């Protein structure tokens, strides 16, 4: 027993220099020794689930940098009551620092999970998997594959945040010296190679689908492993890690370079090949793009497209043929994404804070109904987009007839109406599922209706992330949630990742357009070539690699908006600094008259520099492990 705890103390020093108290609970409850933990199949399965534990704890979007730092959502910082963990949302306000790291996944502090501890658990599982005598060979192979996947994913989660990290292939022996415990960071290319090696080893021994969904939904499949590999390789090939001049010269203390200074085009070919393998595996497993079944509730085509885009995220996991992977806990923040639309909800404000506010820049990201950006559409009055306009019969499924809003809210693509709730916008659902009587949002003056600020009920822009609320959830006298699992990966994202990789390899090609257009067609839009040729002020934009890259990046940001993906994409593209270089604005929410309400007001001035692309390692960890070097610019 003493020997076991001594080894845990060493790994605490190894990975973060923190107190051993965080690392003692690494075996199932009531388990005293490793022999007990692996004495039979049932106990070993319990330990397998502890390897999954940190993964499932990553479900909370408020602790996900891809969600909180993407600029898609602003959370108010001047409220006195704090029902959620706000550290992640504060990071774009310039709060990140090396003394007290926000979302610290290195140490498991300030909203971060103890990822190194989970890697330690995975190694223990692999070291002891032969001990249970009643474990069948087939189960053993599958469990080993699952643990290798988890180990790969935990390394991947850390490399996205920190760049070069130590590779923990095996746990140190308890006889390790102090100097052996103080290990250095590995070059980032070596980290990515190790991650893909683990995924390659795992995929062949994983089932393509989960057949026993009642007991095993959420466990890893070969389709998940192949899809994650595609994303890993695309991340490695992207500008943040592929020949980034900003990281040139960063070395370990022994002089080993941690970043390659040369761009490697072959990385994109590897990513493209991995994307195609994942797509083929997904197709073989029966996955396909989701489409809402309009016959079930008899809605017109206009609303079918909206509900298709919304339900591709909020549909039940076992009924969504597009969902590749999600985590077991359900999305916990629907009440933050839902405006108050009924008299009772305006009074019962405690169950629905309504505080996830979308800035104007996110709303303007979505295309017009011609399938091109607002400022490129040659049929759209961009200069007059803030002029007042009244909802009419033609727009009745999107905007309340007779309600005054602005021109920018008219003639937009279906994904805009699926993603964004706005003043005068139709909200199909919330207990009403016929077109005869639908709710609409009234955002003007919502600050005065929300009650005191300390109730945390203030939406500071006048836009809500509608996509993050199921149309079947009801907010009236309390909040009745129709639960869903926020996707980690879905097929539409994989299609667009493949198109991106193909474009980086060969520029515009028929296959690149094919996979973009599959996603656009589902949204009711014409293909890229036809849409830009006909409606764009830059009709040949798609004909160059640079032009098509811009189109693909915007397409991914639109399709995957609010799914904790855009923040990661913007980082790997090295575009987040540009996105956060402008003030984030909302409407004049304190005004009730439309003419006064529709004046943009700055609600947040982001703070983001080159140093923010990678997380700092906590200063104390650098002191404890003097072989660690700090990330650049910290």
| CATH label of the domain that carries residue 545 | 1.25.40.900
The secondary structure of 388-419, three-state, reads: EEECCHHHCCCECCCCEEEHHHCCECHHHHHH
The domain in which residue 556 lies consists of 488-576
Is the pTM higher than 0.85? The answer reads yes
d(CA 577, CA 216): 41
Residue with tokens 């599958």: 142
Q: What is the CATH number of the domain that holds 273?
A: 1.25.40.890
Rounded (10°) CA dihedral 133, 139, 142, 148? -20
Structure tokens, 414? 């279906």
Identify which of 369, 361, 407, 370 has the alpha carbon closest to the alpha carbon of residue 388.
Answer: 407
Tell me which of 555, 576, 597 is where a domain ends: 576
Q: What is the mean pLDDT of residues 484-508?
A: 98
Burial class for 298, CB neighbours closer than 10 Å (0-12, 13-18, 19+): exposed
Q: How confident is the model at residue 8 (pLDDT cuts 50, 70, 90)?
A: very low
Residue 179 pLDDT level (bands cut at 50, 70, 90)? confident
Final residue in a domain of this structure, among 287, 302, 322? 287
**Nearest CA to 616 among 95, 254, 28?**
95
For residues 268-292, average pLDDT: 98
Residue 402 lies in a domain: no
Residue 87 to residue 63: CA distance in whole angstroms: 8
Radius of gyration of the chain measured on its C-alpha atoms? 25
pLDDT of amino acid 612: 97
Residues paired with residue 109 on neighbouring β-strands, in sequence order: 104
Q: What are phi and psi of 450, to 5 degrees?
A: -75, -20
- Distance, in Å, from the CA atom of 229 to the CA atom of 223, rounded to the nearest integer, reads 10
Q: Which tens digit of pLDDT belongs to each residue from 309-332?
A: 999 999 999 999 999 999 999 999
Q: List the alpha helices (DSSP H) in 74-216.
A: 87-90, 115-128, 137-162, 178-181, 188-202, 213-216
In the predicted structure, residue 215 carries a pLDDT above the cut 80: yes
Share of the chain above pLDDT 90, in %: 84
If pLDDT is split at 50, 70 and 90, which confidence band does 176 have?
A: confident
Mean pLDDT of the chain: 91
SS3 assignment, position 603 = strand
Please tell me the total count of domains within the chain.
2
Q: 161 in a domain, yes or no?
A: yes
Domain boundary residue among 576, 605, 622?
576
250 part of a folded domain = yes
- Would you call 130 exposed, middle or buried from its count of C-beta atoms within 10 A (0-12, 13-18, 19+)? exposed
Domain assignment of residue 193, yes or no: yes
Q: What is the pLDDT of residue 31?
A: 41
Q: What is the structure's pLDDT at 175?
A: 73
Exposure of 255 by Cβ count < 10 A (0-12 exposed, 13-18 middle, 19+ buried)? Answer: exposed
CA within 13 Å, CB half, 301: 4
Residue 188 lies in a domain: yes
Asked if residue 307 is part of any domain, the answer here is no
| 332 assigned to some structural domain | no
């Amino acid at each position: 027993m003493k020997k076991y705890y001594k080894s845990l103390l060493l790994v605490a020093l190894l990975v973060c220099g923190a107190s051993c108290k965080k690392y003692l609970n690494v075996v199932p409850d009531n388990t005293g020794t490793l022999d007990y933990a692996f004495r039979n199949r049932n106990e070993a399965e319990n330990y397998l689930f502890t390897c999954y534990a940190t993964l499932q704890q990553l479900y909370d979007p408020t602790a996900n940098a891809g969600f909180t730092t993407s600029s898609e959502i602003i959370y108010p910082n001047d409220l006195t009551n704090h029902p959620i963990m706000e550290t992640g949302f504060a990071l774009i306000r310039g709060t990140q620092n090396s003394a007290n790291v926000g979302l610290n996944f290195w140490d498991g502090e300030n909203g971060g999970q103890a990822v190194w501890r989970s890697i330690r658990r995975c190694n223990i599982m692999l070291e002891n998997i032969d001990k249970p005598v009643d474990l069948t060979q087939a189960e053993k192979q599958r469990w080993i594959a699952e643990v290798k996947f988890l180990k790969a994913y935990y390394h991947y989660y850390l490399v996205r945040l920190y760049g070069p990290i130590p590779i923990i292939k095996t746990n140190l022996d308890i006889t390790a010296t102090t100097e052996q415990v103080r290990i250095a960071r590995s070059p980032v290319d070596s980290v990515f190679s190790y991650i893909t090696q683990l995924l390659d080893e795992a995929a062949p021994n994983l089932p393509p689908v989960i057949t026993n969904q009642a007991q095993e939904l959420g466990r890893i499949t070969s389709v998940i492993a192949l899809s994650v590999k595609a994303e890993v390789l695309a991340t490695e090939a992207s500008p943040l890690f592929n020949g980034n001049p900003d990281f040139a010269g960063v070395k370990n203390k022994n002089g080993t370079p941690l970043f390659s200074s040369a761009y490697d085009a072959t990385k994109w070919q590897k990513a493209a090949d991995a994307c195609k393998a994942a797509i083929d595996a997904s197709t073989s497993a029966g996955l396909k793009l989701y489409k809402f079944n309009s016959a079930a509730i008899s809605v017109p085509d206009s609303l079918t497209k909206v509900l298709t885009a919304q339900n591709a995220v909020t549909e039940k996991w076992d009924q969504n043929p597009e969902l590749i992977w999600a985590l077991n806990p359900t999305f916990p923040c629907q009440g933050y994404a839902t405006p108050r639309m009924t008299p009772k909800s305006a009074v019962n404000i405690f169950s629905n804070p309504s505080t996830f506010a979308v800035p104007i820049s996110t709303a303007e990201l979505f295309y017009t109904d011609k399938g091109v950006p607002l400022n490129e559409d040659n049929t759209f009055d961009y200069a007059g987009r803030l002029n007042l306009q009244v909802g009419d019969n033609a727009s009745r499924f999107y905007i309340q007839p007779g309600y005054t809003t602005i021109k920018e809210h008219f003639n937009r693509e279906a994904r805009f109406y699926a993603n964004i709730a706005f003043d005068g916008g139709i909200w199909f659902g919330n207990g009403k599922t016929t077109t005869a009587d639908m709710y609409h949002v009234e955002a003007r003056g919502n600050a005065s209706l929300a009650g005191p600020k300390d109730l945390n009920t203030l939406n500071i822009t006048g836009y809500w992330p509608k996509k993050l609320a199921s149309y079947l959830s009801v907010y009236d006298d309390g909040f009745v949630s129709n639960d869903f699992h926020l996707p980690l990966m879905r097929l539409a994202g994989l299609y667009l990742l493949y198109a991106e990789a193909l474009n980086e390899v060969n520029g515009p090609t028929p296959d690149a357009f094919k996979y973009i257009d599959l996603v656009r067609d589902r949204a009711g839009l014409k293909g890229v070539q036809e849409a830009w040729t006909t409606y764009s002020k830059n009709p040949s934009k798609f004909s160059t690699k640079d032009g098509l890259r811009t189109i693909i990046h915007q397409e991914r940001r639109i399709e995957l908006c609010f799914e904790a993906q855009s923040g990661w994409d913007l980082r790997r593209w090295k575009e987040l600094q540009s996105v956060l270089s402008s003030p984030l604005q909302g409407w004049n929410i304190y005004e009730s008259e439309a003419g006064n309400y529709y004046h943009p007001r700055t609600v947040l001035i982001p703070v983001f520099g080159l140093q923010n692309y990678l997380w700092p390692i906590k200063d104390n960890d650098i002191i404890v492990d003097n072989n660690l070097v700090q990330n650049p610019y910290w």
